[in-house]
Amino acid sequence: MGTNIALRFDEHRAYVALDRPDKHNGLTVGMLSGLVASAHSIARHGDVRAVILSGNGPSFSSGLDIAAATSDPLAIVRNFVPRPWRGTNAFQEACWAWRRLPVPVIAAVHGRCYGGGLQLALAADFRFATPDAEFSVMEAKHGLVPDMTGAATLSRLIGIDKALLLTMTADTVDAAYAASIGLVTEVTADPLAEAERLADRIATRSPHAVAAAKRLFDKSWQASARRTFAVERATQFPLILRKAIGRPPGK
């Protein structure tokens, strides 16, 4: 994809890797654009059943490269303005684009997972991490707050006290602690292999049901019971209709 984002397809999987290893995959504005472009490319690739996000080199991502990102103040302003048709700006869309995909997105995390890199990982549906991976909601160290969809994803995964604790202190925590509070799905010696195994398991299920499940929970999580029931009905009805007219699962 250029812009230090590597995209490749292998059978039913799409692999997206942050590719700025000498900088621990510190995120630039160009990389954010590359992430969005990668998500759009995957959306047009009808055979993809799962996406695996990773980082090349010693880390998943050390977060936004502040020096690189602020070298062009006008670019910051342009990319900070939200797109009305999406409801996100360029920084937010680099993460939220993965929530929009109708297939599971799995983050394979190792090394540093800080700031914007953590927000990218949190936007995935699942996170596998090495035991020595490190996590930090780092923005407070720069006098900032999470602004790449982290508030939305943190609120879905952990309690408000833990979210505030991580955000206000900017402490670095290990994978075991991250898993204990729900930031990490599983700690494993080989996150990429674990991500591939999960991708293959999910690929045996109906893609319509998988997409519907992701859409269902995205629209109803933390909603009122009445809203959740309505979303359940709206999500389930097309699936029931498909079965009623006799289409084989997954077709």
Q: Which of 20-24, 48-52, 65-69, 186-190 has the lowest mean pLDDT?
A: 65-69
pLDDT at position 248: 56
Q: Which of 43-47, 107-111, 120-124 has the lowest mean pLDDT?
A: 43-47
Q: List all residues 6 or more positions away from 240 whose beta carbon is below 8 Å from its beta carbon.
A: none
Mean pLDDT value of segment 202-207: 96
pLDDT at position 250: 53
Mean pLDDT value of segment 228-247: 81
Query: What's the pLDDT band for 2 if we cut at 50, 70, 90?
Result: low
Long-range contacts of 138-145 (CB under 8 A, 24+ apart): 138/63, 138/114, 138/170, 139/115, 139/167, 139/170, 140/167, 140/168, 140/169, 140/170, 141/170, 142/66
54, pLDDT greater than 80:
yes
Task: Convert the pLDDT of each residue in 86-112 to its tens digit.
Answer: 889 999 999 999 999 999 999 999 999
The length of the chain is 251
Q: In the structure encoding, which two tokens stand for residue 240, read together?
A: 């029931």
